[in-house]
């Protein structure tokens, strides 16, 4: 289904961009950057954000240990607390 009439982007295009991007897009603006276009009227932003959240699954809220995306290895699991070291 076409979700962005201005750029003729389908829901498949959005999911493919999320799944194949090195740096996971988490907003419509980031997704447009991945696809090499830009928002025109903005009416699709909410729909695109919903598709991104759906495609990221649990990562849409917060990455957990064992996340299949490459960024999980560089980010601490959600809920991890760190103490500040005195300098």
Q: Where are the domains of the chain?
A: 2-62
Fold of 2-62: Arc Repressor Mutant, subunit A (1.10.10)
Could you write out the three-class secondary structure of 9-71? EEHHHHHHHHHHCCCCCCCHHHHHHHHCCCCCCCCCHHHHHHHHHHHHHHHHCCCCCCCCCHH
Residue-wise pLDDT for 4-54, tens only, equals: 999 999 999 999 988 887 777 888 898 898 889 988 999 999 999 999 888
Q: Is the pLDDT of residue 62 over 60?
A: no
For 47, other C-beta atoms within 10 Å of its C-beta total 15
For the CA atoms of 30, 27, 61, 78, what is the dihedral angle to 10 degrees? Answer: 40
Residue-wise pLDDT for 69-79, tens only, equals: 554 444 444 44
Averaged over 62-68, what is the pLDDT? 52
């Amino acid at each position: 289904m076409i979700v962005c009439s201005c750029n003729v982007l389908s829901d498949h295009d959005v999911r493919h961009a999320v799944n194949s991007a090195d740096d996971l897009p988490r907003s419509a603006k980031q997704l447009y950057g991945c696809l090499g276009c830009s928002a025109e009227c903005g009416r699709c932003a909410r729909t695109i954000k919903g598709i991104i959240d759906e495609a990221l699954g649990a990562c849409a809220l917060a990455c957990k240990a064992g996340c299949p995306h490459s960024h999980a290895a560089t980010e601490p699991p959600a809920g991890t607390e760190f103490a500040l070291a005195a300098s």
